[in-house]
Structure 1
Amino acid sequence: MGNSKAYPVHRTPDRFEAYRRARQLWALFAWHDDEVELGAEMTTVGDFRRMVAVLPDGLYDHVSMREDPETGECLWFDLDVRAAADTDIAQELPLDVYQRVPTGFEEDFVRALGRGPASICWEGRWPDEPEAGSFGVRKYDGVQVVFNSDHADWDRTADFHTVYVHVTKFGDLGRAQRLAAAIGGAVLGEAELGW
């Protein structure tokens, strides 16, 4: 049990640069999953429409729990994302979406993003480096790019985008430093709680 340690290794105001750097790290995996996890917060109707065009089957919901003012019951987002009117969507904002999809949707996802926080997570396994005492662990290893945020949980906003490497639950600063160097980056702070 436990969570990976996520080390920030690159920050930039250019979301496409952040995506390219993350893909460079993805190419270093000894093994990678054929699926990717996408998540985004949408704050405008335009954000929502662009995202639905990319992820029409995504799990869309309110960012924060909402209650019926009379009954106190939880209100779920239940509009048809393809047919709902802009005025109806505007009343539901902010919304978020999650979906695990086959790799290949990532660039369209990046183009669809607005100013809300978002994340792409690729799971894999880093190559074994016996000479450094570092071994890949499929359960924990991965690459994540967080848009409009400076936190692996993407629960706070920023005016830049952050690339993370995920490693074993015990941390592996040496591996994080080597991976960062491979993309021209550096470890930018303490390890954060990962997945």
Structure 2
Amino acid sequence: MGNSKAYPVFRTGDAADAYRQAGRLCALLEHVDDRIWLFAEMRTPREVRRMAELVPGVPFDYEETREDPATGHFLLFDLDVATLDDAELRTHLPLSFKEDVERGDVEERFLTALGEGMAAIEWNGRWPDDPEADSYGHWNYDGVQVVFHGDEAQYGDWTEEHTVFVHVTKHGDLPRARKLAAHIGSDVLGEAQLGW
């Protein structure tokens, strides 16, 4: 199997523009899965509440590893955020969640719920075959990803900017990535990164 190669093809300080360009790229996919992957890091009680409303019942995790001081065991966040007041919720921040959900209007609602933490939307699919360029779609690897407040497909360090990635075969496909970037008036903005 292995991981896809993720090429950064668009970067901006405007989250809505990054989302819009990712949508333009998704429209080029021959097939888009019915489910998408969401990731969000929440730094304030307000951000937690907005995301909890967006994806009811989603399990939250501590963003940073926490240990029980008495036992040294890792702590899991297993509280219902709806039952905590803001002061109590602040003691658990930052929180995060990762969840696959049904595609549809959730993407736009997710965009409006974004806070200052890192977040991402991932659309898996399949690029169309392009025999002239010796480029073929791959079900396990192809897709589009937008990382808000980040420039790494694997969610590295926080940045001011938002980055759109195209994912291709594990062997890489720079010509396809360049063609996709050109479709949105851009170019490949760096080396291929480890994808999903």
| Smaller-chain TM-score bracket | over 0.9
Q: How many angstroms apart in 1 are the aligned matches of 2:3 and 2:151?
A: 19
Cα separation, 2, equivalents of 1:69 and 1:11: 42
Q: CA deviation at 1:66?
A: 0.9
User: Following TM superposition, where does structure 1 have runs of at least 4 consecutive aligned residues deviating by more than 6 angstroms?
Assistant: none
Q: CA deviation at 1:55?
A: 1.4
Tell me if 1:111 matches 2:112: yes
- Map Cα deviations across residues 135-174 of structure 1 (whole Å, 9 max, x no partner): 0001000100000011111221110100000000000000
Is the counterpart of residue 130 in structure 1 residue 148 in structure 2?
no
Cα displacement (A) at 1:32:
1.1
**1:100 partner SS:** strand
Amino acid at match of 1:38: L
Which is further off, 7-16 or 51-60?
51-60
Q: What does the per-residue CA deviation read over 1:92-111, in whole Å, with 9 as the maximum and x for residues that have no partner?
A: 00100111111120011111
Corresponding residue number in structure 2 for 1:24: 24
Distance, in Å, in 2 between the alignment partners of 1:30 and 1:9 is 19
Residue 167 of structure 2: aligned partner? 166
Cα distance in 2 for partners of 1:173, 1:160 equals 23
Question: What is the distance in 1 between the residues matched to 2:149 and 2:191?
Answer: 19
* Whole-angstrom CA distance in 2 between matches of 1:90 and 1:148: 21
Q: Which residue of 2 aligns with 1:91?
A: 91
Deviation of 1:45 after TM superposition, in Å, equals: 1.2
1:61 aligns with 2:52: no
Query: Is residue 56–residue 81 contact of structure 1 (8 Å, CA) maintained in 2?
Result: no
Secondary structure at 1:3 match in 2: coil
Q: Percent identity?
A: 54
Q: How many angstroms does 1:82 deviate by? A: 2.1
Secondary structure of 1:64's partner? coil
Name 1:192's counterpart in structure 2. Answer: 193
Unaligned 5+ segments in structure 2 are: none
Q: Could you tell me how far 1:61 is from its partner in structure 2? A: 0.5
Structure-to-structure mapping, 1:6-17, within 5 angstroms: 6-17=6-17
Counterpart for residue 145 of structure 1: 146
Matches of 2:147 and 2:75 in 1, distance apart?
28
**Distance in 2 of aligned mates of 1:78 and 1:112:** 22
Determine helix, strand or coil for the equivalent of 2:83.
coil
Matched residue of 2:160: which SS?
coil
Partner amino acid for 1:173? L
Structure 2 distance, partners of 1:168, 1:79, is 39
CA RMSD of aligned residues (A): 0.8
Count the aligned residue pairs.
195
Structure-2-length-normalised TM-score:
0.97
CA distance in 2 between counterparts of 1:59 and 1:7 reads 30
Which ranges in structure 1 are unaligned for 5 or more consecutive residues? none
Distance 2:168 2:5 in 1: 5
Match of 1:59, SS state, is coil
Letter in 2 for 1:28: L
Aligned to 2:70: 70
CA distance in 2: counterparts of 1:6 and 1:50, whole angstroms:
29
Question: Do 1:117 and 1:155's aligned partners in 2 also have CA atoms closer than 8 Å?
Answer: no
Structure 2 residue aligned with 1:82: 82
Tell me the residue number matched to 1:50: 50
